[in-house]
Chains A and B, each alone.
Chain A
Amino acid sequence: RKEVEQDPGPFNVPEGATVAFNCTYSNSASQSFFWYRQDCRKEPKLLMSVYSSGNEDGRFTAQLNRASQYISLLIRDSKLSDSATYLCVVTIGNYQLIWGAGTKLIIKP
């Protein structure tokens, strides 16, 4: 079992719809959690940190479920520009960042 797992997709979603995807992690000692966005052949860019209480940034909501060991990302009112691969990453210990392979999202007009 991979340490961090994501559904690779692609998720094909009409513009304006709401889409959500999860990321599961296996190490209960995971400390910090982040969502990154990566466009094709570009570097990952931080989308948002994920806090235990959940957090929202505009159309994006991230949540953490420590009991079930997953984090989620919800995108409301999706835009064409949201098309990208979404990577989750968890930190363990002093330096380890474990990355998921990403979920590909395609927003269709």
Chain B
Amino acid sequence: DTGVSQDPRHKITKRGQNVTFRCDPISEHNRLYWYRQTLGQGPEFLTYFQNEAQLEKSRLLSDRFSAERPKGSFSTLEIQRTEQGDSAMYLCASSRGVNEKLFFGSGTQLSVL
């Protein structure tokens, strides 16, 4: 399977704990996006990378969120000191470039208790 893969599929954590998610994009895609989605809403932009460079980060994102793509391939999204409001589906997507179609991974469903 050469699609976008995300790990883990589900994560349950206690408030205050740190969590890290991983995304492996389609190999020839140089753009990688992280989104967050809650029920009844469209995906909400968090950040995106062009190769290893993080080019934009949503102003809605607090300092507790950080993302990396160290070698321009896989990416990680870390949430520190999780809060109940962080509970959501975290989606990763990749594309070939500007205005190209996005392909999504299956997402990581985070539940903060």
A contacts, CB < 8 Å to B: 4, 8, 31-32, 34, 41-46, 49, 87, 89, 91, 94-97, 99-102
Contacts of B41 in A (CB 8 A): 101-102
Contacts of B56 in A (CB 8 A): 95
Min CB distance B10 to A, Å, is 11
Contacts of A102 in B (CB 8 A): 40-42
Contacts of A41 in B (CB 8 A): 89, 109
Given known pairs A49-B101, A91-B99, the reply for A43 and B107 (CB within 8 Å) is yes
CB-based contact B101/A34 at 8 Å: yes
CB-based contact B55/A95 at 8 Å: yes
Contact of B42 among A34, A42, A46, A101 (CB under 8 A): A101
Contacts of B42 in A (CB 8 A): 4, 87, 89, 99-102
